[in-house]
Chain A
Amino acid sequence: MKMLGLSNKDTTFLLIVVGLTLLTPFLLQPFPVASGGNMFNAGYPDLMQRFAIFGIFAIGFNILFGLTGYLSFGHAAFLGVGSYSVVWMYKLLGYNVVPGLILAIIVSALFALLIGYISLRRSGIYFSILTLAFAQMMYNLAYSVLTPLTNGETGLQVYSNDPQVLRGPEHLDAPHFFNLFKMTDSTKLTLGGWEFTLSAGYYFTAVIAIIAFYISLRIFRSPFGLMLRAIKTNQTRLNYTGINTRPYTLAAFVISGMYAGLAGGLLAAMDPLAGAERMQWTASGEVVLMVILGGAGTLMGPVLGAGFIKYFENIFSKINDGVLHQWFAWMPDGLENVIITISHFFVGKSWHLTLGLLFMLVVIFLPGGLVEGGQRIAARFRGRKAKDDATHAAKTQPSAAE
């Protein structure tokens, strides 16, 4: 089955991704509400929306970093720009998210064009430092001279005396989609002991994430994507083959900046607020971690990495000493205290430590990230099957770019 200009294999791949995305509210809610596992359920709207948004951010970042190898340390700047754009549109036009998201993509593209044009004059560590410097500059400007635009430390938000010129009297007074639904709309579905939340905000974000994924898939399979991968491998050869690498890297930079702007805009669609802290370098570093953890240069890697990190941030951080006491109450008191003291370093507020260790393990043992881990497991299964069925001569075809 071929669809949308994709090969059979890619069509299947895309359909699986669409299926998983649409079923996320169920898949991430495997435990009954009353059970002890409930705290590991991630199927609530706020978190699912974050998965999708940071998935978009990471998919875009991967087009630059995964394909060309240029490591930007300043992409959070575009995230911030996207958020500010959306909130400004709320203030000026009204709470419909669409104009804001369009503006977020345009404005972040312009910023990316400027920052990319200058930063891409250098490569390697110098490029990374330049992007970092730009982002920190924007972060500081947002707090100081640009206060009229950003509302400084308070953060940009909608006030009742804002013009909102397109807002009719009967319009919704929270982020909405053409007055059809609010982002915060949701219905609860109770099945036995299970409870699922179907949220408008999540599905709106999910549809955009699927489109973002599809565009990335097309780029991976295009001659443009091939050139980007060639840049990562050998720029000298490319230059002497008649290719001007600069506009290619710039295009990749701008595209990834637009993805980041869109993600930032969607954050403001979830919560109509924009603050400068969104542009801080830690946020730029986080997307790097996501892409490397999931598998740089792979299609699914960034999504997996984003999900993984956001899950940790939101779930592991909830496991405090109280929860640990509950878990280990059955142990003799002395042992219980020892275990809890040790665990204390890995969960709750210390979830960063666990994430750091996992990150190290992945980088050392799975340089291709979680995707490589998945592939190795799949290969082992296939290997066993091939041995069982010796007559079945499977023709292995190298899968491009996965």
Chain B
Amino acid sequence: MGILEVKNVGKRFGGLQALSDVNLSVQENTVHAIIGPNGAGKSTLLNCFVGKLIPDTGSVMFNGQSVLGLKPHQINQMGISRVFQTPEIFGDLTVMENVMISCFAKRDGSFRLHPFETVAHEVDIVDKAEQMLIDVNMADKRHMQASSLSRGDKRRLEMAMCLSQDPKLLLLDEPTAGMARADTNNTIDLLKEIREKRDITMAIIEHDMHVVFSLADRITVLAQGTPLVEDVPEKIKGHPKVKEAYLGETGVTQAA
């Protein structure tokens, strides 16, 4: 049994069958990549894991518990954290405050009325957030307003926020989309580092295969809403079905 078990998931948008018969099992402490061409249904699938969408058919089990019908905050409290395709951070707040909010959510749960405590006196939260920023090399930016960060740093911050919750499962939706080459490589290095440093399960959604190639333990290829193949990266690389799926998109499979 994997930590995330997806069975027969289907989702329809009007006349469009965005997902059909998706079966997937993510094993604990592995990195599982889901790749596929644009419009394959990758984001839709991920949205079914986090409570943003409810699939029409099938089931999504996390740690043996169904997540269908739960609210995003409830699913997060179960141990799933998510990185968005475009970084979602608290732009008006400082970098430090961004991470502290994640730490509070982890410690205090989804709601706690604490109007007479003082943020600055929460030593354990402050320490944890500071350590997290050191881990992602952002300690020097802790007092900066988050909206003034570069795109790469915003992504890094979002990752730090997710990691500070020690999630059982980290979901990443195209973490390198729209990034310059250098930033892409940085992000991949960061993910590798995270992998080595802690026991973590990751599911990465990617359009570009070569990003996940050196990172993933297993890769599922999604095309037109259905998984084509699932295997270790080496086998996926030259798979004829994969080549077919990406046909017409140049330089993607070849680059890998």
Contact = CB atoms under 8 A, between A and B. Distances in A.
Contacts of A239: 71-73, 76
Nearest to A224: B115
A232 B105 contact: no
A285 to B, nearest CB: 25
A219 interface: yes
B114 A223 contact: yes
A223 B108 contact: yes
A53 interface: no
B93 A233 contact: yes
A16 interface: no
Interface in B115-129: 115-122, 125
B137 interface: no
A237 interface: yes
Interface stretch (B82-90, B174-182, B191-199, B206-214): B82-90
B77 interface: yes
A168 interface: no
A163 interface: no
A144 interface: no
Contacts of A244: 71, 73, 110-111
B214 to A, nearest CB: 28
A234 B110 CA distance: 16
B50 interface: yes
A240 B50 contact: yes
A364 B65 CA distance: 53
B118 A234 contact: no
A322 interface: no
Given A218-B116, A242-B76, A243-B73, A223 B90 contact: no
Interface string B70-107: 01110011000110100011111110010011101110
B218 to A, nearest CB: 25
A242 B78 CA distance: 9
B239 interface: no
Nearest to A246: B111
Contacts of A224: 112-115, 117
Interface string A222-242: 111111011011101111111
A242 B71 contact: no
Interface string B156-177: 0000010001000000000000
B241 interface: no
A36 interface: no
Nearest to B143: A398
Contacts of B93: 226, 229-230, 233
B116 A5 contact: yes
Contact of A222 (B71, B97, B118): B118
Interface residues of A, number: 34
A3 to B, nearest CB: 13
A221 interface: yes
Given A5-B116, A222-B115, A237 B90 contact: yes
Nearest to B88: A237
B250 to A, nearest CB: 34
B120 A227 contact: no
Contacts of B71: 239, 244
Interface string B40-72: 000000000010000000000000000000011
Contacts of B109: 242
Contact of B92 (A7, A221, A223, A233): A233
A397 interface: yes
Nearest to B116: A218
A226 B50 CA distance: 24
B114 A222 contact: yes
B76 A240 contact: yes
A251 interface: yes
Nearest to A255: B115
A248 B92 CA distance: 18
A240 B88 contact: yes
A383 interface: no
Contacts of A215: 115
B194 to A, nearest CB: 18
B33 to A, nearest CB: 21
A247 interface: yes
Nearest to B118: A221
B105 A241 contact: yes
Contact of A218 (B118, B125, B143): B118
A401 to B, nearest CB: 10
B193 to A, nearest CB: 22
Q: Nearest 6 pairs between A and B by C-beta?
A: A242-B76, A244-B110, A242-B105, A237-B88, A233-B90, A233-B92
Interface of B: 50, 71-73, 76-77, 81-82, 84, 88-94, 97, 100-102, 104-106, 108-122, 125, 143, 161, 165
Interface of A: 5, 7, 215, 218-219, 221-227, 229-230, 232-234, 236-245, 247-248, 251, 255, 397-398, 400
20 contacts: A5-B118, A218-B115, A222-B117, A224-B114, A224-B117, A226-B93, A226-B119, A230-B97, A233-B91, A234-B90, A236-B88, A237-B90, A237-B161, A238-B90, A240-B72, A240-B76, A242-B109, A243-B110, A247-B113, A248-B111
Given A226-B97, A242-B76, A400-B94, 19 more contacts: A5-B121, A7-B118, A222-B116, A223-B117, A225-B115, A227-B101, A232-B92, A233-B92, A239-B71, A239-B76, A240-B73, A241-B105, A242-B77, A244-B71, A244-B73, A245-B73, A248-B111, A251-B113, A398-B143
